[in-house]
Chains A and B, each alone.
Chain A
Amino acid sequence: MSQLFFGYFAGMIVITSILVVALRNPVYSALSLLVMFFHVAGLFITLHAEFLAAVQIIVYAGAILVLYLFVVMILNVTQDDRYHSQWRIAGVVCIPLFIESLLLLSGGAGAVNTGSRSLQSGPYDAIPTDNTLAIGKTLFSTYLFPFEVASLVLLVAMIGAIVLAKKDIGQRET
């Protein structure tokens, strides 16, 4: 049953991520990215990360993608006539990497499984059933300093976005 779910989510993620790159209209690209975000959230649920699935839908699908769609609508972009001339470089970079990763992973699957068994035999903290509670405790105890730094990152991004997109600053100088 879990393999059925994984197959569905993985297939949809791969198809929609290829559509993001292949579709020429940016609005259609953004909408297929939306479908991909929902399926990644489903994959997170099968991996017992319910809090992250909710955050994925709220932040990615709810905030980031809406921001993209706003900008696409504001700028009134026409679709690309053709792809960039760098597609040969892209093929040269990616096709060997892809084949290599497939070979490594298919060859190393047994080694990975034995490694996991040795890891899981040792004592470890099991992920509790209440995922949100556990993440909150970890976030505010072990990772408290990175959490504060993340708030600083958000502040800098907010100020930077306002300064960059404000119309008066560039026009006053000219």
Chain B
Amino acid sequence: MIPISYYLILSAIVFLTGVVGVLIRRNIIAILLSVELMLNATNINFVAFSDHLQDLGGQVFVFFALTVAAAEVAVGLAIIIALHRSRSTINVEEFNLLKW
């Protein structure tokens, strides 16, 4: 039997990797991939606690998180395509329309 803290450590490592990826990558697609990493880290946490507490609610919430992830990917990639059409780049440092 694996203690729950191992799953928490694994999830924390994956989540922090995602945060580092969002902060250091310049490619906007790689930034979205890092967001997927963070969502998967929370899913690992949900399922680990669902098994630990013997409660199915965690698994149902992973289902909803998956739905939101699919919606996020669809809208995010559409925004990327629109951006690439207007600026013909996907480097985040070129997008400074809203900067002051």
A113 contacts which chain B residues (CB < 8 A)? Answer: 3-4
B94 contacts which chain A residues (CB < 8 A)? Answer: none
Knowing A52-B47, A138-B56, A153-B67 are in contact, say whether A75-B84 is a contact too (CB < 8 A): yes
B77 contacts which chain A residues (CB < 8 A)? Answer: 67-68, 71, 161, 165
B50 contacts which chain A residues (CB < 8 A)? Answer: 47, 49, 127
B90 contacts which chain A residues (CB < 8 A)? Answer: 75, 77
Those of B22-67 within 8 Å (CB) of chain A: 23-27, 29-30, 32-34, 36-37, 40, 43-44, 47-48, 50-57, 59-60, 62-64, 66-67
Chain A binding site: helix, strand, loop or mixed by DSSP? helix
For the complex, give the distance between the alpha carbons of A80 and B12 in Å.
Answer: 27
Q: Interface 1/0s, chain B 6-27, versus A by CB < 8 A?
A: 1011101110111111011111
For the complex, give the distance between the alpha carbons of A101 and B71 in Å.
Answer: 31
Considering only CB atoms and an 8 Å cut-off, how many residues of chain B contact the other chain?
A: 71
A116/B85 in contact, CB under 8 A: no
Those of A68-89 within 8 Å (CB) of chain B: 68, 71-72, 74-75, 77, 79-80, 82-84, 86-87, 89
Enumerate chain A interface residues (CB-CB to B < 8 A).
2-3, 6, 10, 13-14, 17-18, 20-21, 26, 29-30, 33, 36-37, 40, 43-44, 47-49, 51-52, 55-56, 59-60, 63-64, 67-68, 71-72, 74-75, 77, 79-80, 82-84, 86-87, 89-90, 93-94, 97-98, 101-102, 105-106, 108-109, 112-113, 116, 119-120, 124-127, 131, 134-135, 138-139, 142-143, 146, 150, 153-154, 156-158, 160-162, 164-165, 167, 170
